[in-house]
Amino acid sequence: MTVLICDSDITADSELSEILFELRGLESKCFTDYIECITYMKYHSADMLFLSVGGKEQEHLSVIKEARTKENRVYVCLTGSSPEEAMDVFRYGCDRFLQKPYVASDVQTCLEYFDHLNMGCRSVTVHTFGRFDAFVNGRPVIFHNAKAKELLALCVDRCGDISCAEAVDKLWPSRAFDEKTKRLYRKAVASLNGTLRQYNISNIFKSYRGGCTVNVGAFKCDYYSFTEDPKTNLHSLNGEYMSDYEWAESTLATITRTAEAVSVNEDLSFLYE
C-alpha cells in the first residue's frame, strides 16, 4: 500500500508517518513540496494521500486533481491546524480531515473509515468447501506464510474469535503452549496482517491481546451461507471442507449431519465418496 504525505512542515510529516507505521506498519512517502508530490503521482500509484491545506489554494487543488486522475481510487485526507479547515473536505471533494497536532486515535479512526470505503469497491469471498482460499474481486489472495493462512481459516471456522492457546493447539498440535509457540503465533499474526494490508482488506481480521477474530460481515463465505440456509445451499457442498486441515474434520461432520437432516429425496452420496 502506497501512502503519501504532503505538508511543508517536515516535523508534521514525520509525526504522521510514525503514527501510521505504529498503527499498521504503513510506510509513507513524504513531500514538503506540492510540485514534487504531483510529479511523483504522475509516475507512481498511490492508495492514500494526506494533504496539508496550509498554503495556496491552487496548490491543494492541483495535488487533489492529480490524485483523482489515478485509475484506482486514492483516498484523500486533508490535514490542518484549525477545525474550520475541515470544511475544505466538502469544498474540494475529499474524504476525511485530520487536525494537527496528530493524535493516534484520530488517525486510527481515519484509517478505519478508509477501510469502510474500500470494502464498498472490494468484494472478498472465502471458499471452505474443498481447500480453503480467499479471493478479492475474484482474484486469489496469495499467502506467503502457510500458518498465517491456516490461522485465518481457523478464525473463519470458528465464525469469529479464537484464543491464542487454541490457535497454537490447532496450528502446532505436537508442540506445547510455551513462549516458543507464542512467538510462532505472533509471527503468523504479523504475516497475516501484512498480507491483508497488501490486498487492502485489513478489516476482515483483527488481533488483540490473547487472541484474534474475523469480521464475519466483511466477506462472503460458502460455509456461512450453508449454515444460514442449509436446504437452499445443499448444491454448494462437495463432500470436503477445508481439506488441508485435520482440525476441520469435526466441522465437516457437523455439515454432513445438517445436510442429512434437511435433505428430502436428495442424493447425498457425494458426501461419502
- Rounded mean pLDDT, 137-149: 92
Q: Looking at 78, 95, 119, which one is the last position of a domain? A: 119
| Residue in the structure block whose three cell numbers are 466538502 | 90
pLDDT at 250 over 60: yes
Phi, psi at residue 92, to the nearest 5°?
Answer: -100, 0
Sign of dihedral through CA atoms 108, 112, 198, 14?
negative
43-57, pLDDT tens digit by residue? 888 889 999 987 677
* Domain co-membership, 159 together with 25: no
Tell me how crowded residue 50 is: count the other CB atoms within 10 A of its CB: 26
189-226, pLDDT tens digit by residue? 999 998 988 887 888 898 888 999 998 888 899 999 99
Buried/exposed 180-198: b ≥16 CB within 10 Å, e otherwise: ebeebbeebbebbbebbee
| Residue in the structure block whose three cell numbers are 493516534 | 104
* Domain co-membership, 194 together with 266: yes
Where in the sequence is the domain holding 115, given as residue range(s)?
3-119
Q: What angle do CA 215, 219, 220 make, to 5 degrees?
A: 135
**pLDDT for residue 121:** 56
Q: pLDDT above 70 covers what percent of the chain?
A: 93
**pLDDT for residue 123:** 80
Q: How many domains does the chain have?
A: 2
- Rounded mean pLDDT, 137-165: 93
Question: pTM for the complete prediction?
Answer: 0.58
101 preceded by a cis bond (ω within 30 of 0): yes
pLDDT: is 114 or 183 the higher one? 183
pLDDT at 72 over 70: no
Extract the C-alpha cell encoding 115: 477501510
